[in-house]
Chains A and B, each alone.
Chain A
Amino acid sequence: MLINRVFSRPEKWKIYWRSIIDEIDKIGVSSLGIVALMSVFMGAVIALQTATNIDTPLIPDYTVGFTARQSFILEFAPTMLVLILVGKVGSNIASEIGTMKVTEQIDALEIMGVNSASYLILPKIIGGVFIFPFLIAISMVLGIFGGWFVCIATGVVSSADYIYGIQYDFRPFHVVYAFIKTIVFAFAMITVSSYHGYYSKGSALEVGKSSTDAVVYSSILILILNYILTQLLLI
C-alpha cells in the first residue's frame, strides 16, 4: 500500500527535484566523513591483520593487497558500510518522518492535497539509491589506500607487493556485484526506515521506538538480501 503511494505520480516534479538534491546532500554528502574515516582505518587494520597472520613463506606477501581488495570490494564497502550507515541514515529517516507524523505535519500535507508518502519518501529513495554507489566507490578506494599506507608506514609488506596484490586476479564483475548489492541495500534500508517512521503513532517515545525498529529490521533485511544476492550472483 505505502509503496504504491510512494511511486504514484508526483504533484510537481520541480519540487521533487529540489527535495532529491537535498536528500543527496543529507544522506550522502553528510556521510562522507564517517565513510572516509572508517574505510581508511578498516583498510589499515585488514592489511595489518593479514600481514601479521602470514608467517609461512608459502603464502606470498602480495596476499595482503589481494585480501584488502577482496574484503573491501566484496563485503566491507557494500555490506558492512551500509549496515553501519543504517544506524546513521536509517534512524535519521525514521525519526524525521516519525516526528512529522506525531506532530501532525503529515496530516497537514494530506489535507493540502499532497501525497505525503510520495513527497516525503520518493526523494529519499531516489537520492539514496543514486548517492550510495558513490559512497561505496569512495570507501573501496580509501580502504585499499588505507591498507597500502599502513604497509609502507610499518614496512610489513612492500609497496610493490601490495600494489601487485590489489591487481592480482582482478574480476571486474566483483565491482558490478558490489554496486548491485549497494543499490538493493540502499533501497531496502530507506523503504524500511520510511515505513517505520510513517506509521509511528503517539508520542516522542514511539518515534524513538520506530527509529530503533527501523535500524533492527533494515539490518536483518540487508543480511538476508546479502545472502540471497551472493548466492544468485556469485555461485
Chain B
Amino acid sequence: MIEIKNIYKSFGDKEVLKDISFSCFQGKVNIIIGQSGSGKTVLTKCMVGLHKPDSGQILYEGKDFVSMELEDKKEIRKNLGMLFQASALFDSMTVEENIMFPLTMFTDMDRKAMLRRTNECLERVNLEGTNKLYPAETSGGMQKRIAIARAISVKPGYLFCDEPNSGLDPQTAIVIDNLISELTKEMNITTVVITHDMNSVMEIGDHIMFIYEGEKWWEGTKEAILRSDNQELNDFVYASNFMKTLREKF
C-alpha cells in the first residue's frame, strides 16, 4: 500500500501540487486522472523519487520514502516497476537484454535462470520469440508489452504506469489495460495508473482520484464517477459528445 499525505510541489513560482493526499491499495488498480498539465505526472514522479516534494509524506508500507536515506530508497526502488509513456526501453539492447537488465543488476540468478524468467515474462505478455529483436524493430503496442515484461521481471510490489495507452489504437489499448489489470490481481501488487483515457478508467479502475489544477478534486470508484455531481469532474468525464449522449440516454 502507498499513502500520499499532504504533498506540495512547486517549480519556481508555479505551484504544481497542492495538498494532495491519496491512498493506493494493494491488489487494486489505482488510477489518477486529470487534464493535461494538472500535475498527474509530477505526482507520479514524486512517488517514484524522480522529484522531491516540497513537503508532505509518501509512505510505502508505512515508511516515508521522501525522508529516507538514499540506500533505503534504493531498496524501495528495486521493488518498483514502471511503464513509461514512451516505454523507455534501452534501445541499444535487445528485448531479451532489456528484460534481463534488472535481473542482472539486482539478483544473483545465473544466466540460465535469468533466461527462463525472461521467457516467462515474454510469454505472460504474449511476445514469445521476440527475444533477439531490438526495440526499434517492434511496434508501439509491442514496446509497451516489453516494458511491462521488464517491469514485472523482478516481481515488484508496486507497478506505476504513466499513460499506458498513449499512441495506441483502441484494441491494443484494451490489451494493455487488461494486461495491467490481470497482473495486478495475479501478483497482488499495488498498481498506479496515470491516464486521461476514460476507457481505461471504466475498464480497469478500482480506485480513482481526479486531480484538477494540482489539487485533489474527487476520489472514488468507477461506478461512483458516473453519478458524481462534481462539475469539474463531469466536465472531464463527459468532455466528448459520445459520453454526453450516453449520459443523457442512461
A residues lining the B interface (CB < 8 Å)? 11-12, 15, 100, 103-105, 107-108, 110-114
Contact = CB atoms under 8 A, between A and B. Distances in A.
Nearest to A102: B86
Contacts, number: 51
Contacts of B90: 100, 105, 108
B74 interface: yes
B74 A111 contact: no
B56 interface: no
A113 B88 contact: no
Nearest to B85: A104
Contacts of A104: 84-86, 88
Interface in B82-131: 82, 84-86, 88-91, 101-102, 104-106
B88 A108 contact: yes
B71 to A, nearest CB: 10
Interface in B147-176: 160
Interface of B: 48-50, 73-75, 77-78, 80, 82, 84-86, 88-91, 101-102, 104-106, 160
Per CB-CB distance, the 6 closest pairs between chain A and chain B, nearest first, are: A113-B77, A104-B88, A108-B88, A113-B74, A113-B78, A104-B84
Given A12-B105, A15-B104, A108 B74 contact: no
A12 B103 CA distance: 12
B69 to A, nearest CB: 13
Nearest to B71: A113
A105 B73 CA distance: 19
A103 B86 contact: yes
A108 B105 contact: no
A233 to B, nearest CB: 39
Contacts of B77: 110-113
A192 B77 CA distance: 29
A113 B106 contact: yes
Given A15-B104, A15-B105, A114-B105, A108 B78 contact: no
